[in-house]
Structure 1
Amino acid sequence: MGSGQSASGTDGGNRRWLMLALGTAAQTSSFAFVYGLPYLIPVLRRSEGLDLARAGILVACPTVGLLLALYAWGAATDRYGERVVLGSGLALSTLALTGALLVHGLVLLGLMFALAGAAGASVSAASGRVVLGWFAPEQRGLAMGIRQTSTPLGMLVAAVSMPPLAAAYGLRGALVFVTALSAVMAVLVAALVVDPPRPPAVGPGGSRPPSPYRHAATLWRIHGSAALMVWPQFTVGAFGLVFLTDVRHWSPVAAGQLMAVGQGLAAACRIGAGSWSDAVGSRLRPMRVLAVAVGALSLLLAGFAEWWPAATAVVVLIALCGLSASTNGLSFTSVAELAGPHWAGRALGVQNIGQNLTASLAPPVVGAIITSAGYGAAFACAAGCALAAIAVVPVNAAQVGL
């Protein structure tokens, strides 16, 4: 297994667990907005007069802003440290969300959502470095698995809170909630986050180590496979609730509660996958196995989702919701370990760009597929991406312990 990051976690005592908790909480608060907007699709369609495709475009705006800013935030993290980037990014995100409370319409809301997503990209770039910098290699899979629960936990928080808040107080009521979360976390990380110790730069004159992308395609293949695995995750994450309301005729609140169960399972799967990778000394072998499972479940839903008995369809849908999110921490950990501590911020930025590019494309494209061909076609497309990821994961990565 790679050892690019320093094993400072062995000397960090209880501080490393506090850093893990802060990084996870910061990412959860950010993702409650960025990836929680799909749970507001019903109220967006009603209050803003949008069809499903236009609502999908609005839902994609935060991830568009996020992917445009990720590399810059990663470079800032490598240069200025995690604490500065986390605090300033969350503060800017809070300001943009406050602006979203004051505007209406597809264009202005989309602009504010994109700016909030761009500011929130700081959390994606820096919080993973905080966690990995404080933990030794033999614990990084578990630590990153816990940190990566922030995506499903953010979706869980949104699924539980946003539909009832939107039902009671409208779109602005739900947005006030995520704005408050962002403000609280900005204060906490600025006050409590401590940058992990880093080894000194090596090379002639103490220069930074050369780019890890220079001589091998391994990192690019990990980026590509991780991006492919985002498509099934966002197919079920963004449209699972709509499937339950439109096809199964559930209420938005009940559907949101069920999707929250799926996101809880996703969090557990990420922790389990991380522990598995520590136990077997490989990040990518478990990733390939999980991609097979995601492809199989997606194919099952593609063939039978609209005709199965309700209980069967719900069980498969929730299982896919959990497993489709399970590989994220594995790919992030392997990227950071290969890149090393002086390039990890930028490498994780590139990783996030690929994943969030897929995440920004998925809602409008999947919405259009559902509109024209139905949910079966959408789940079939998700299955194809998962199966393609199996081929893209580096075959020889296991030889270097990944």
Structure 2
Amino acid sequence: MPGERRRWLILVVGMLTMIAGSTFQYGLAYLIPAFRDEGLALEQAAFLVACPTVGVTLTLIAWGAAADRWGERGVLSTGLGLEGLVLVAAQWAHGTASLAVCLTLAGAAGGSVLASGRMILGWFARHERALAMGIRQSSGPLGLALAAVTLPALAADGIGMPLLFLAALFLAAATAAFVFVRDPAPQPSTSVRGTPDRPSTSPYRTPSLWRIHAASALLVIPQFTITTFALVFLIDARGWTALAAGHLLAGAQVCGALSRLGAGYWSDRTDSRLRPMRIIAVSTGVGMLVLAAAAAAGSSLAVPVLLFLGVVVVSSNGLSFTAVAEQAGSAWAGRALGIQTTGQNALTALTPPVLAVAIGAAGFAPAFAVVAAFPLVAAILVPVAAERTAMVDQAAPGDPATHGVRT
């Protein structure tokens, strides 16, 4: 297969694996009404929603190290296949505890998807890399859109059918990864401190990567506040039905996917990953404050603000992943992306149960107002001033000048 076609096919397959992973890990929030219909409290339902993220968090760094050592093809196909089989087995889970174990184990296998992404370094040059990563990361909102459209309807007779649907998605994605994914030819390892001729030392000897990790982790708090509780807010505070709210939020997630592409294009054109990331963080913080005020006033303005946030809060993800991969270099990219996603998922796992308690105790408006602080702190942490000197342009001789492909 010609190299140009191959790299775009690999990107498409990477998107499909991410869509499957996102539909499960983040889309379980759309089963909260079904869990509550089965007699679970909001806090219990939020705990189940968080279980896949707990599993992912436990295994991300290990999956990233495996990808650095053996490549992404085997890692993706193995992890996705195991995830699908665990969800098939979940059909026989009885009780909340056993279901939580199955969801956690499936999430642990699914860490293979979120620890991947290092292939972008090998298959795409720097001037197109943020857009490529944005395309790949747009799968997250697309998975949420798929969850919003399918899971509430499939859950009409219980959660068995939604879990089988998710299992089928994973098994199909595992097959596609095994058949179509090819790891790029090995490239000379570069990082912040490395050169094409000398393997890099640890990129964690400078604070830039740690600051990006911290800012990215803080940004997932508003993201998963909206992801998890937008449906509940529309039902409980605005009187919407679950299906109507799901369809509206599916549209917002599609727009969110497009926003990741737009952010990637913006980043490539300005040759900066972190300046756009800071602007998005500030916009998210301000938007959360406006949402809190609208919720407190009982204003219908809350709905368009919620939709605005549904688009904006997801847009910076591809930028942070691109920045991490570039600063880490090819020798460290898998581990660095694993560390990046571990931090994100640790807070992602905590957000639903903690916010559920806060909403139950104080209501939506105060909870939204507190969440607004996190993206504003993230904006301060983003190391924009260090970006120009810290970044190494990996589109040097030996990097994919001809897109680094193997034919």
What TM-score do the two structures reach when normalised by structure 2? 0.92
Tell me the equivalent position of 2:282.
292
Tell me the equivalent position of 1:268.
258
Query: Which AA in structure 2 matches 1:22?
Result: V
Q: Quote how far apart the aligned CAs of 1:196 are.
A: 1.1
Tell me the equivalent position of 1:86.
76
Aligned match for 1:326, one of 315, 332, 335 = 315
Tell me the equivalent position of 1:188.
176
CA distance in 1, matches of 2:336, 2:232: 35
Question: SS at 2:235's partner residue?
Answer: helix
Q: Quote how far apart the aligned CAs of 1:395 are.
A: 3.8
Q: Quote how far apart the aligned CAs of 1:133 are.
A: 2.1
Q: Quote how far apart the aligned CAs of 1:207 are.
A: 8.7
Q: Quote how far apart the aligned CAs of 1:401 are.
A: 6.9
Q: Deviation digits for residues 21-72 of structure 1, max 9, x if unmatched?
A: 000110111110111100000111222x211111111110000000100000
Aligned match for 2:364, one of 356, 375, 378 = 375
Q: Is the 8 A contact 1:156 1:260 kept in 2?
A: yes
- 1:34 and 2:25 matched: yes
CA distance in 2, matches of 1:249, 1:104: 32
CA distance in 1, matches of 2:339, 2:253: 25
CA distance in 2, matches of 1:107, 1:148: 32
Q: Is the 8 A contact 1:282 1:401 kept in 2?
A: no
Tell me the equivalent position of 2:10.
19
Aligned match for 2:341, one of 352, 367, 389 = 352
Q: Quote how far apart the aligned CAs of 1:170 are.
A: 1.7
Query: Which AA in structure 2 matches 1:327?
Result: S
Query: Over aligned residue pairs, what C-alpha RMSD do you find?
Result: 1.6
Query: Which AA in structure 2 matches 1:397?
Result: A
Q: Quote how far apart the aligned CAs of 1:309 are.
A: 3.9
Change (3 A) 1:200 1:282: closer
Aligned match for 2:352, one of 340, 360, 363 = 363
CA distance in 1, matches of 2:63, 2:199: 18
Query: Which AA in structure 2 matches 1:255?
Result: A
CA distance in 2, matches of 1:41, 1:93: 21
- Percent identity among equivalent residues? 50
Tell me the equivalent position of 1:198.
186
Tell me the equivalent position of 2:158.
170
Please say which of residues 18-27 and 129-138 is displaced more in the overlay. Answer: 129-138
CA distance in 2, matches of 1:323, 1:171: 30
- 1:46 and 2:37 matched: yes
Q: How does 1:172-321 map onto structure 2 within 5 Å? A: 172-200=160-188, 209-213=200-204, 215-310=205-300, 312-321=301-310
Q: Quote how far apart the aligned CAs of 1:345 are.
A: 0.1
Question: SS at 2:323's partner residue?
Answer: helix
CA distance in 2, matches of 1:259, 1:345: 32
Query: Which AA in structure 2 matches 1:171?
Result: I
Q: Deviation digits for residues 231-282 of structure 1, max 9, x if unmatched?
A: 0000011000000111111111111111111111110111100100001110
Query: Which AA in structure 2 matches 1:138?
Result: H
Query: Which AA in structure 1 matches 2:35?
Result: L
Query: Which AA in structure 2 matches 1:250?
Result: W
Q: Is the 8 A contact 2:122 2:187 kept in 1?
A: no
Query: Which AA in structure 1 matches 2:175?
Result: V
Question: SS at 1:210's partner residue?
Answer: coil
Query: Which AA in structure 2 matches 1:331?
Result: S
Q: Deviation digits for residues 57-91 of structure 1, max 9, x if unmatched?
A: 11100000001000000000000111010010001
Q: Deviation digits for residues 172-210 of structure 1, max 9, x if unmatched?
A: 11111111100111111111111111214699xx99532
Q: Quote how far apart the aligned CAs of 1:389 are.
A: 0.4
CA distance in 1, matches of 2:189, 2:379: 36
CA distance in 2, matches of 1:13, 1:182: 27
Tell me the equivalent position of 2:123.
134
Tell me the equivalent position of 1:8.
none
Question: SS at 1:178's partner residue?
Answer: helix
CA distance in 2, matches of 1:104, 1:359: 26
- 1:111 and 2:101 matched: yes
- 1:58 and 2:51 matched: no
Moved over 4 A (4+): 200-203
Change (3 A) 1:381 1:333: same
Q: Is the 8 A contact 2:327 2:390 kept in 1?
A: no
Q: Quote how far apart the aligned CAs of 1:306 are.
A: 4.6
CA distance in 2, matches of 1:238, 1:132: 32
Q: Is the 8 A contact 1:224 1:392 kept in 2?
A: yes
Please say which of residues 102-111 and 301-310 is displaced more in the overlay. Answer: 301-310
Q: Quote how far apart the aligned CAs of 1:382 are.
A: 1.8
CA distance in 2, matches of 1:189, 1:398: 34
Query: Which AA in structure 2 matches 1:175?
Result: L
Q: Is the 8 A contact 1:70 1:122 kept in 2?
A: yes
Q: Quote how far apart the aligned CAs of 1:357 are.
A: 0.5
Question: SS at 1:13's partner residue?
Answer: helix
Please say which of residues 49-58 and 109-118 is displaced more in the overlay. Answer: 49-58
